[in-house]
Amino acid sequence: MELIHHEVQEGQLCAQHCLNTLLQCPVFDAIQLASIAQQLDSEETSKMAEGSSEEYSRFLEQPSSNMDDSGFFSVQVIMRALEVYGLSAKHWKHPDLIEARNHPADNFSALVCNLNQHWFTIRKIGLQWFNIDSCKSGPTLISDTYLEVYLKQLELDGYTIFVILGTLPECQADAVLLTSPLDPSLYNCTDSRKPVKAKEKAPVSKPVETESVEEIRRKRLAKLCGEEKPSTPDLHSESENCPSTDDNSGQDLDDEELRRAIAMSLLDS
């Protein structure tokens, strides 16, 4: 889904990423948001100057509550940035939203969520809802049914949720998905769940025919011993059962030891 504008987390600029993914266009950068934060600081300073001098002095000693060097920007900065595009935000638990939040998929167009200085967007593009979080590799498709469950889980996890009110700027992704909704099964397969190629089975080797190998060894042994028979009985058994005479028993013993030595060398090779 390259058409959906998504930004990968950079430093602590999640507020910037949240706004740009909400508007589906990289309209804000850190310099612009820092300028808004400075305007808010100036307004707060002027207001505090109207109070006691002691409170004003303590206020001046404190760092800005609207931004810091890490790239963090406060909810006030986000609200002021939304006003540039005619948008506003209302807390999820606001009394005006009691009925509407029972069916968020039908009644809202976008939400922004915050926990521990991290911001991310959930918005409707075309006919479908997407979680566009800069800490994720890309947009995540959310079904209408699951959206309500997901928002309740975010609440339990401690997230603060704001409903975006107003008409969001038009974007190319919205126009495309309005006429051609994304197939959830194809999206899950090609985007976030790449199919894993099955491991190829190793070829099964055929068992060695031990009998034929043994037969070859016996033929080689028979040839060395001067016997050209295709097969011979086991030499150990043959030597044990072979009759002997007194006249040539020594010679037979020598021949038998020679045969055994040759057999053992061939069988071990």
DSSP letter for each residue of 182-249: --HHHHIIIIISPPPPPPPPPPPPPPP-HHHHHHHHHHHHHHHTT---S----HHHHHHH----STTH
**60 — phi, psi (to 5°)?**
-65, -25
- Domain range summary for the chain, segments of one domain joined by +: 14-192, 210-243+254-268
Structure confidence at residue 143 (pLDDT): 94
- Say if residue 60's pLDDT is above 90: no
Contact 174, 41 (CB under 8 A): no
Residue 150 has pLDDT above 90, yes or no: yes
What's the pLDDT score for residue 268? 54
Find tokens 């992704």 and name the residue.
173
Taking residue 37's Cβ as centre, other Cβ atoms within 10 Å add up to 23
Strands (E), 100-166: 110-115, 118-125, 128-132, 140-142, 160-165
Q: Is the pLDDT of residue 225 over 80?
A: no
Instruction: Quote the mean pLDDT of the chain.
Output: 79
Do residues 1 and 182 touch, judged by C-beta distance below 8 A? Answer: yes
Task: Check whether 188 has a pLDDT greater than 70.
Answer: no
Task: Say if residue 85's pLDDT is above 80.
Answer: yes
Q: pLDDT at position 104, please? A: 96
Rounded to whole angstroms, how far apart are CA atoms 161 and 147? 13
Q: Which is more confidently placed, 220 or 160?
A: 160
User: For residue 47, what pLDDT band results from cuts at 50, 70 and 90?
Assistant: confident
The lowest-confidence range among 77-86, 106-115, 123-132, 217-226 is 217-226
Please provide the CATH number assigned to the domain covering 14-192. Answer: 3.90.70.40
Residues above pLDDT 70, as percent of the chain: 69
Nearest to 66 by CA among 11, 117, 7, 122: 117
The arithmetic mean of pLDDT across residues 239-264, rounded, is: 53
Of 10-14, 52-56, 98-102, 209-213, the range with the lowest mean pLDDT is 209-213
Element (H, E) at 91: strand 88-91
DSSP state of 166: S
What pLDDT does 183 receive?
84
Q: How confident is the model at residue 195 (pLDDT cuts 50, 70, 90)?
A: very low
| Single pTM value for the model | 0.66
pLDDT, position 198: 35
What's the length of the chain?
269
